[in-house]
Chain A
Amino acid sequence: MKKKILIFEDDLATAELAGIVAEQLGFEVAYRIRTDSVLSDVAAESPHIILMDNWIPGDGGFDSIQLLKNTPTTADIPIIFYSANTDFAGLAQTSMADAYITKPFDITDLEGIIKRLIPDSNM
């Protein structure tokens, strides 16, 4: 059975790009363009891994990650935090994300992080 990635990204072109990268790793991809209801989104999709943008409508990436990581049913799902924010590294390190990557990124770096967090991904 395919593993699933849930991508929270409001820029459609970026979401599409990340989706292609994940698909090439054998993932099934689901998208959300807002973060008003991450708990129910994650409950609905049951992803194996989450890719979370920072500046995104709704609660935003940072708070959404806190929420997911503080909720027992979603706390174990690895989350990659990514953003084009200038001072993102500092923010990401104080977040509860499992990994972070700064935009613009190399697709091989994103692949590397996904494979590290989901070792048995299909590649």
Chain B
Amino acid sequence: MPEYAQALRKIFGTALDASVDGVVITDNKLPDNPIIYCNQAFCDITGYSMDEIIGHNCRFLQANDRNQEVRRTIADAIKEGKACQVDIRNYKKDGSLFFNELSISPVYDEDGNITHFIGIQNDITRRKEAEHSLKLERENLEKRVNERTKELQEHEAFLKGIVETIRESLIVLNPDLKIALVNKHFEKFFKINANELIDQKLTDVLEGSWNIPELVNLLENVLPEHNPFEDFEVVHDFPYIGTRRLILNASQITVGGAYQNWILLAMEDITERYVIEKKKDDFIAIASHEMKTPITVVKGNLQLLERMLEKGDMEGYKPRLRQSMDSMENLNRLISNLLDTSILTSGSTNKTSEVIKVIDIIDTPLAQVGEVYKSHDFVLYGDTDLEILGNKDQLSQVITNLLINAAKYSKDSKQVVMHVGRVGNFAKISVTDTGIGIAKENHKRVFDRFYRVSGNDNNYFGAGIGLYISQQIVADHGGTIWVESEIGEGSVFSITLPLSK
């Protein structure tokens, strides 16, 4: 061997020994392809000493792990005399697993026969483990993502369920006051489809109804400092639904990075409640005013009587007594009416309805009013046996109110005429007086004073609350009440009540 070749061989040998990759060389010309060389790195990787390796076929590294797919790849490559590269599970001397990145290359002689195979081995256990755990992590992550997605979807469905169930309008705004979401109730209440709202500025939608400077100021400037705010009252004429009184609650919410300073706006429609409360306040104001009026008269007259008694001068005491007693009677009647109102508002009329004859609701009031207004002439005619369905006490109260009004406002002409007749499926009862009459513009007003009167309202009409109550009772029975009258020519108050059959 020339010196040069010998030197080169030594260099190669040193290079092989210095390599961190394991290197084995097998002799293909010997049976079972035994290992004839391995380097130090191979010994380090496998844990075997060089002496334990030489002479063996490489398969000893697979221990009992014989069913690996890659063996076929190796076998095929060897058979066909080709190079191949595989990742194969190998076992060290101590039995521990390592992943071996194995490259096998055949060595040919001049005649094309394979003389040797060279195997380069690389312990890629760490990489494999990393890949494996990465794979596991990926699978795990995917599983967790799926689980979380499901949870989120369920949670979202749950929250959506809550949002859609609430009987309040809800609106979600992004920081630019653009609408991100409205609930079903909002769509229903404002009679508008969500599609027409989403991504629009709150102040632009619904014909600019929401362009209320105080509200915008509140959302843009006040809310960030005072979060949340509650009970902001808005009275506004909205398209489609008219004037509404709303109470707004708002809170600014920040969820994660995506939802910075979003605004949740909840609105409650208190229009009806406000009207009811206003009516209740009016009722209380009127009721107490009406009660104080006869009390004023009684108190004043009693004080006058006391003075007379002290002076021993009882001249003219009778009218004072009479007036006190009349006022007490007014007060009593007023209280009956007020009680009727409270019965009406609790809506118990239907439960107390019975089949009654018209005469049943007329005879007692007629007798009672006749007793008070002795100088008046009450005339009753017509078909008083007609049967109606209703509450006897309440309808009697209506008749009493009509008779008293007729008597009270007909001081000079003392006849009050009452007629009962059938009109279609109704009984019609009319009370006619020939008194002072009512101006045309007041024909409706005499029945509806409850709606107009408040503490500062001077449109008060001093006819007592009997007609209002009467109207409520009659309406509650499915009937109507009205007046026909001319100033100075008396009035005809009529009611209709449905017949019982």
Contacts and interface: CB of A to CB of B under 8 A. Distances in A.
Interface string B285-304: 10011101111111111011
Contacts of B217: none
Contacts of B295: 103-104
Given A103-B293, A104-B296, A55 B303 contact: no
Contacts of B451: none
Interface residues of B, number: 29
Contacts of A55: 289, 453, 458, 460, 462
Contact of A106 (B288, B303, B327): B303
B455 A56 contact: no
Nearest to A34: B462
Contact of A84 (B292, B298, B300, B304): B292
Contacts, number: 84
A33 to B, nearest CB: 8
- Interface secondary structure of B, over-half rule: helix
Contacts of A91: 455-456
Contacts of A16: 323
B458 A21 contact: no
Interface in B303-351: 303-304, 323, 326-327
Given A13-B323, A85-B285, A107 B300 contact: yes
Contacts of B457: 60
Interface residues of A, number: 30
Nearest to B290: A84
B456 A105 contact: no
A13 B297 contact: yes
Interface string A42-73: 00000000000011110111110000000000
A14 interface: yes
A62 B455 CA distance: 11
B459 interface: yes
A104 to B, nearest CB: 4
A37 to B, nearest CB: 15
A86 interface: yes
A102 to B, nearest CB: 9
Most B Cβ at <10 Å: residue of A17, A91, A108: A17
Contact of B458 (A20, A59, A84, A108): A59
Given A11-B293, A11-B297, A86 B459 contact: no
Interface centre among B303, B460, B461 (most CB of A within 10 A): B460
23 contacts: A11-B293, A13-B327, A14-B293, A17-B301, A18-B300, A21-B300, A21-B304, A54-B460, A57-B460, A57-B461, A60-B459, A62-B458, A83-B289, A84-B288, A84-B292, A85-B285, A85-B455, A87-B285, A104-B298, A105-B299, A105-B300, A106-B303, A108-B303
Interface of B: 284-285, 288-290, 292-301, 303-304, 323, 326-327, 453, 455-462
Given A14-B300, A62-B458, 5 more contacts: A14-B293, A60-B458, A83-B289, A107-B300, A108-B303
